[in-house]
Amino acid sequence: MPQDPGKDLAAVTIAVTGVPGDEPPKRADQALARRRQRVAYGILTPGGIYLAIAFIVPLILVVYTSLQSGGLLSGGYTFTWAFDNYADAWSSSSQFFARSLLYSGLATLLSILIAYPMAYWIAFYAGRWKSTLFFLILVPFFVSFVIRTVQWNFILADDGLLFGPLKSLGLLPDDFQVLATPIAVVAGITYNFLPFTALPLFVALDRIDKRLVEAAKDLYASKSQAFRKVVLPLSFPGLFAALILTFVPATGDYVNSSVLGSNRTTMIGQIIQTKFLRQADYPEAAALSVMLMVGMLIIALAYARVLGTEDAALAAGAA
Partner 1 sequence: MSAVQATSATLERPPLRVKRKRWTAYILPVFTITTIVYLASPIFVMIMFSFNVLQGQRQIAEFTCCTLNWWTELFAIPSLNEALRTSILVAVPSAIVATALGTLIGLVLGRYQFRGRGPTNFVIFLAIAIPEIVLASSLLSMFVLAKTPIGFGSILFSHIGFSIAFVAITVRARVQGLDRSLENAAQDLFATPLQAFMKVTLPLILPGIVAGFLLSFVLSLDDFVITNFVGGSVNTFPTWVFGASRIGVPPQVNVWGTILFLVGITFAALNLVGSFRASRRSAAAAETAGAALRGATGA
Stretch that binds partner 1, among 88-96, 167-175, 227-235, 275-283 (CB under 8 A): 275-283
Q: Rule CB under 8 A: is residue 147 a binding residue for partner 1? A: yes
Among 97, 191, 193, 240, binds partner 1 (CB under 8 A): 191
Residue type, 59: L
17 binds partner 1 (CB under 8 A): yes
Task: Judge contact between 153 and 259, C-beta under 8 A.
Answer: yes
Q: Kindly state whether residue 232 participates in binding partner 1, applying the rule CB under 8 A.
A: no
Q: Which of 7, 27, 31, 43 binds partner 1 (CB under 8 A)?
A: 43
Closest CB to partner 1 among residues 146, 166 = 146
**In whole angstroms, what is the distance from residue 76 CA to residue 9 CA?**
59
Q: Which is nearer to partner 1, 98 or 313 (CB)?
A: 313
Q: Which of 83, 90, 154, 176 binds partner 1 (CB under 8 A)?
A: 154
Decide: is 101 part of the binding site for partner 1 (CB under 8 A): no
Q: Stretches 86-94, 167-175, 199-207, 224-232: which one binds partner 1 (CB under 8 A)?
A: 199-207
5 belongs to the binding site for partner 1 (CB under 8 A): yes
Q: State how far the alpha carbon of 234 is from the alpha carbons of 207, 210, 299, in Å.
A: 9, 11, 21
Name which position in 214, 236, 264, 302 contacts partner 1 (CB under 8 A).
214
Task: Select from 221, 232, 234, 296 the one that contacts partner 1 (CB under 8 A).
Answer: 296
Q: Can you give the three-state secondary structure of 98-158, one letter per residue?
A: HHHHHHHHHHHHHHHHHHHHHHHHHHHHCHHHHHHHHHHHHHHHHCCHHHHHHHHHHHHCC
Shortest distance, position 266 Cβ to partner 1, whole Å: 14
Strand-pairing partners, residue 78, are 69
Q: How far is the CB of 39 from partner 1 (least distance, A)?
A: 8
Burial class (CB in 10 A: 0-12, 13-18, 19+), 181: middle
In this structure, the strands spanning 68-71 and 76-79 are antiparallel
Write down the least CB distance from residue 87 to partner 1, Å.
19
Task: Give the residue among 150, 101, 171 at the shortest CA–CA distance from 256.
Answer: 150
Which of 16, 87, 98, 166 is the binder for partner 1 (CB under 8 A)? 16
Q: C-alpha distances in angstroms, 226 versus 31, 116, 215, 217?
A: 52, 16, 9, 7
